[in-house]
């Protein structure tokens, strides 16, 4: 794992306990960002694991309370399918969070999938982020918090083992053909430079099917080509792993 000081790994009982603690940490990161910068820029992860966390944030009870009026939401990756498609990450986030939380459409920047190719959609998303952050060309947006998942094969966002997208360093977003895991559709994904420019990257990982990939990454037994999530090393930010006991099942006690 990268510089120990900026890396933390927490193990929770199960997926529900993980979701509860993740929601509380995201709310704390929101409060801290709003206190220091007046707003919170949060990148949502796709897949299925974050759904419980999003639902708790939408309810906003107890520690999971976010000031939505100062919050802006983005996506780390998307499948090249329409936003109402069951395989869409936007649809998952909409059902579990966006349709419930008091946040307006202009505070949410989805990855558009309306253009003919995933490559065109990735260029469109890069331009949209440059416009939102008002950044000089060639620089990366600095998100306050990026949520990430871990695929059974060690992929994260849509950065798949051995894929060309792993080597893209000159733009914010890129595209990728499908990986080995479903769904078999082209993807749009933030690149390593954009992900590693964040103030904090936070993995949410649940289930025994993730244990091998997590062990390889945490114990440094895999290359980024083999387990792309190993390439998430925020340059100036923090790296946080929130996992459940099933996912942590193969970790040596010294790693926990
Ligand atoms: C995607 C995701 C992907 C996901 C992992 C874990 O579009 O599929 O962004 O990186 O986070 O595949 O998915 P689960 O949470 O469903 O296990």
Distance 88 CA to ligand 1 centre (A): 11
Are 242 and 204 in contact, with CB atoms under 8 Å apart?
yes
- Please tell me the distance from the alpha carbon of residue 33 to that of residue 45, in angstroms, as a whole number: 19
Total length of the chain: 256
| Ligand 1 mean position, distance from CA 18 (Å) | 16
Closest CA to 113 of 151, 149, 77: 77
% of the chain surpassing 70 pLDDT: 98
Mean pLDDT over 179-207 rounds to 96
Q: Given this model, what pLDDT does residue 2 score?
A: 46
Ligand 1 centre distance from Cα of residue 38 (Å): 30
d(CA 97, CA 173): 24
Give distance in angstroms: CA of 50 to centre of ligand 1: 9
Mean pLDDT computed over 158-178: 97
Among the atoms of ligand 1, which is closest to the Cα of residue 187? 7
What phi and psi values does residue 81 have, to the nearest 5 degrees? -135, 160
| Burial profile 94-128: b = 16 or more Cβ within 10 angstroms, e = fewer | bebbbeebebeeebbbbbbbeeeebbebbbbbbeb
pLDDT in tens, 202-213: 999 999 999 999
Q: 1 pLDDT band (50/70/90 cuts)?
A: very low
Write the pLDDT tens digit of every residue in 76-133: 999 999 999 999 999 999 999 999 999 999 999 999 999 999 999 999 999 999 999 9
Q: Residue 177's pLDDT band (boundaries 50, 70, 90)?
A: very high
Residue carrying the six token digits 């331009």: 127
Please state, in angstroms and rounded to a whole number, the distance separating the CA atoms of residues 112 and 81: 9
Residues having CB closer than 6 A to ligand 1 are 45-49, 77, 79, 89, 149-151, 155-158
pLDDT score for 5: 52
What SS3 state is found at 115?
coil
**What ligand 1 atom has the least distance to the C-alpha of 89?**
7
| Shortest-distance Cα residue to atom 10 of ligand 1 | 157
pTM score of the predicted model: 0.97
pLDDT averaged over the chain?
96
Distance 104 CA to ligand 1 centre (A): 25
Structure tokens at 123: 């260029």
How far apart are alpha carbons 7 and 255 in whole angstroms?
11
Distance from the CA of 72 to the center of ligand 1, in angstroms?
Answer: 21
Q: Which of 50, 79, 96, 149 to mutate to test the pocket of ligand 1 (most atoms within 8 A of CB)?
A: 149
- Cβ neighbours of residue 29 under 8 Å, at least 6 residues apart? 40, 42, 144, 145, 200
Q: Using one digit for the tens of pLDDT, what is the confidence trace for 226-247?
A: 999 999 999 999 999 999 999 9
The string of pLDDT tens digits covering residues 55-68 is 999 999 989 999 99
User: For atom 13 of ligand 1, which residue has the closest CA?
Assistant: 47
What is the structure's pLDDT at 180? 87
Q: Which numbered atom of ligand 1 lies nearest the CA of 155?
A: 10
Candidate from 24-28, 41-45, 175-179, 250-254 with smallest mean pLDDT: 250-254
What residue's CA is closest to ligand 1, atom 4?
47
């Amino acid at each position: 794992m990268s510089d120990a000081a900026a890396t933390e790994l927490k193990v929770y009982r199960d997926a529900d306990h993980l979701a509860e603690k993740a929601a509380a940490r995201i709310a704390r990161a929101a409060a801290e960002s709003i206190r220091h910068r007046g707003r919170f820029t949060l990148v949502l992860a796709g897949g299925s694991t974050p759904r419980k966390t999003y639902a708790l944030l939408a309810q906003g009870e107890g520690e999971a309370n976010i000031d939505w009026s100062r919050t802006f939401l983005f996506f780390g990756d998307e499948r090249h399918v329409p936003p109402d498609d069951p395989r869409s990450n936007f649809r998952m986030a909409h059902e579990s969070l966006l349709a419930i939380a008091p946040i307006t459409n202009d505070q949410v920047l989805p990855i558009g999938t309306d253009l003919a190719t995933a490559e065109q959609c990735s260029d469109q998303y890069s331009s949209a982020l440059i416009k939102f952050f008002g950044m000089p060309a060639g620089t990366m947006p600095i998100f306050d918090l990026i949520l990430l998942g871990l695929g059974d094969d060690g992929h994260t966002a849509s950065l798949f083992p051995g894929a060309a997208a792993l080597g893209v360093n000159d733009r914010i977003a890129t595209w990728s053909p499908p990986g080995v895991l479903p769904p078999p559709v082209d993807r749009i994904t933030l690149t390593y430079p954009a992900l590693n420019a964040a103030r904090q990257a936070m993995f949410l990982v649940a289930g025994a099917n993730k244990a091998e990939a997590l062990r390889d990454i945490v114990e440094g037994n895999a290359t980024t080509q083999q387990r792309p999530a190993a390439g998430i090393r925020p340059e100036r930010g923090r790296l946080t792993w929130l996992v459940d006991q099933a996912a942590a099942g193969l970790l040596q006690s010294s790693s926990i």
